[in-house]
């Protein structure tokens, strides 16, 4: 019996140490560019599960041998920076939007082309999305995976949103187009005048997208709004089907697994390169910034930390839990973000659990601290 207890204890200690090593390796991911060493990025997807297992070990050792809690406890302390980026600890009671001349309400939303290619009625899906967006009474809206058309009997979403949402000012990237009539890209809408705008290519190639920005004037302040859609895994239906089969143990899928890993590897590398470009651009801004986007990466990633820098993550300021924003693949994916300069106070943050897109819209309400101390350059 004593041998069995020693064996069991030794077995769980070995597992505990193995999880600690993987967890600490995942905590190194923000400091190691995937362009230099891409395999470490895969651990960022496992981060919440590794964290959960460590917490279970910590609690378990409290009951069986409290001295071994140090194994998990030290790892949790060393990984606190990644943990605090992944989990928000704010209570909902302090999460209230404010009104007034110095406040702004901002939405970031991957609209998935308003359901253009959905099997169900795309017209209904679009109408429901419009109604949901209009209800939020936004001052600024940043949409990714945006579609608009100038063809007869098609959806001119660019014009219709300006009119219906009373957001007259906008800047659209139009990264891809078909016959100069149908357009895809990212867009910024504003209730306030835009005095400068442009786009910056984040990568090369026929399917590369742009970082876009718009400098808006609100009262005596100039603010820079930045919107982006970073590289996705580009999984197709065949890939998703293979993932489902592998998860359900219906097929080992060696060939499919290799294809999926290759796509993920390419996406990690491209995103890290895009993140470097975005991070540099943000740091050079002459104005307070509001950064919105679908990063296609988790808060444990190089992408997240490189772009965030010293900015505030609105979810961490007013959210609670892990804040999932993507409905597919795993229940732990927060990949849609709003970051803001320290010139702002984050009054509230929320997401809308809507199935109209495969992403949930995220909304924050901000107050501009020290309003009136930034310079308006009207002729820029």
55-80, pLDDT tens digit by residue? Answer: 999 999 998 888 999 999 999 999 99
Q: Do the beta carbons of residue 193 and residue 169 sit within 8 Å?
A: yes
Beta bridge partners of 176: 184
- Alpha-carbon gap, residue 202 to 313, rounded angstroms: 22
278, 319, 283, 310: which is closest to 297 by C-alpha?
278
Q: Do the beta carbons of residue 231 and residue 278 sit within 8 Å?
A: no
- In the prediction, which pLDDT does 249 show? 56
Q: Do the beta carbons of residue 362 and residue 107 sit within 8 Å?
A: yes
Residue 257 CB burial class (10 angstroms; 0-12, 13-18, ≥19) = middle
217-258, pLDDT tens digit by residue? Answer: 998 899 999 999 999 887 666 655 656 555 555 555 566 677
In angstroms, how far is CA 2 from the centroid of its own chain? 51
- In the prediction, which pLDDT does 136 show? 95
Q: Which residues contact 241 (CB under 8 A, 6 or more apart)?
A: none
Q: Which residues contact 242 (CB under 8 A, 6 or more apart)?
A: 251, 253, 256, 257, 259, 260
- Classify domain 92-368 by CATH architecture: 4-Layer Sandwich (3.60)
CA-to-CA separations, 358 to 159, 202, 350, in angstroms, rounded? 24, 24, 17
pTM confidence score: 0.90
Q: So where are the chain's domains?
A: 2-86, 92-368
- Alpha-carbon gap, residue 11 to 4, rounded angstroms: 10
Determine the longest span between alpha carbons in the chain, in angstroms: 83
In angstroms, how far is CA 327 from the centroid of its own chain? 13
344, 229, 245: which is closest to 294 by C-alpha?
229
* 3-class state of residue 61 by DSSP: helix
Which helix (H) or strand (E) is 225 found in, with range? strand 221-229
- Joined together, the tokens standing for residue 9 give 């204890």
Q: Give, rounded to a whole angstrom, the gap between the first and last alpha carbons of the chain.
A: 80
375, 317, 318, 366: which is closest to 343 by C-alpha?
366
What is the full DSSP assignment across 120-141? S-HHHHHHHHHHHHHHT--SEE
Q: Where are the alpha helices (DSSP H) in the chain?
A: 2-28, 42-64, 69-78, 80-86, 122-135, 157-164, 237-247, 254-283, 302-308, 314-318
Per-residue pLDDT of the chain (380 residues; tens, 9 = 90+): 565 666 577 888 999 999 999 999 999 999 999 999 999 999 999 999 999 999 999 999 998 888 999 999 999 999 999 999 999 998 776 777 887 778 999 999 999 999 877 656 778 899 999 999 999 999 999 999 999 999 888 899 999 999 999 999 999 999 888 888 899 999 999 999 999 999 999 887 766 889 999 999 998 899 999 999 999 887 666 655 656 555 555 555 566 677 788 889 999 999 999 999 999 999 999 999 999 999 999 999 999 999 999 999 999 999 999 999 998 777 889 999 999 999 999 999 999 999 899 999 999 999 988 655 443 333 32
């Amino acid at each position: 019996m004593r041998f069995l207890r020693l064996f069991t204890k030794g077995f769980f200690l070995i597992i505990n140490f193995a999880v600690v090593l993987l967890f600490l390796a995942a905590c190194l991911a923000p400091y190691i560019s995937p362009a230099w060493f891409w395999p470490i990025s895969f651990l960022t997807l496992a981060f919440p599960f590794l964290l959960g297992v460590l917490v279970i070990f910590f609690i378990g050792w409290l009951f069986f041998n409290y001295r071994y809690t140090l194994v998990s406890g030290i790892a949790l302390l060393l990984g606190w920076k990644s943990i605090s980026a992944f989990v928000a600890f704010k209570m909902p009671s302090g999460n209230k939007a404010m009104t007034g001349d110095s406040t702004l309400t901002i939405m970031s939303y991957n609209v998935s082309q308003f359901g253009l290619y959905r099997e169900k009625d795309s017209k209904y899906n679009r109408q429901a999305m419009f109604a949901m967006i209009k209800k939020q009474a936004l001052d600024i809206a940043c949409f990714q995976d945006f579609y608009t058309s100038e063809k007869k009997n098609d959806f001119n979403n660019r014009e219709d949103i300006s009119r219906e949402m009373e957001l007259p000012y906008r800047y659209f990237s139009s990264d891809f187009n078909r016959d100069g009539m149908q357009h895809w890209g990212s867009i910024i809408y504003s209730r306030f005048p835009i005095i400068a705008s442009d786009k910056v290519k984040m990568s090369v190639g026929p399917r590369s997208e742009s970082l876009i920005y718009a400098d808006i004037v609100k009262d005596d302040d100039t603010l820079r709004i930045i919107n982006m859609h970073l590289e996705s895994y580009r999984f197709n239906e065949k890939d998703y089907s293979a993932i489902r089969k592998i998860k359900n143990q219906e097929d080992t899928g060696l060939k499919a697994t290799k294809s999926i890993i290759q796509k993920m590897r390419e996406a990690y590398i491209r995103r890290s390169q895009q993140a470097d470009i975005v991070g540099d651009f943000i740091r050079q801004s002459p104005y307070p910034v509001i950064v919105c986007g679908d990063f296609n990466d988790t808060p444990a990633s190089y992408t997240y930390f490189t772009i965030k820098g010293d900015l505030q993550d609105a979810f961490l300021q007013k959210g609670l839990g892990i804040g999932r924003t993507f409905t597919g693949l795993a229940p732990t994916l927060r990949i849609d973000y709003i970051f803001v300069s320290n010139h702002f106070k984050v009054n509230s943050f929320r997401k809308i659990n809507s199935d109209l897109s495969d992403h949930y819209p995220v909304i924050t309400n901000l107050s501009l601290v020290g309003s009136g101390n930034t310079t308006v350059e009207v002729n820029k």
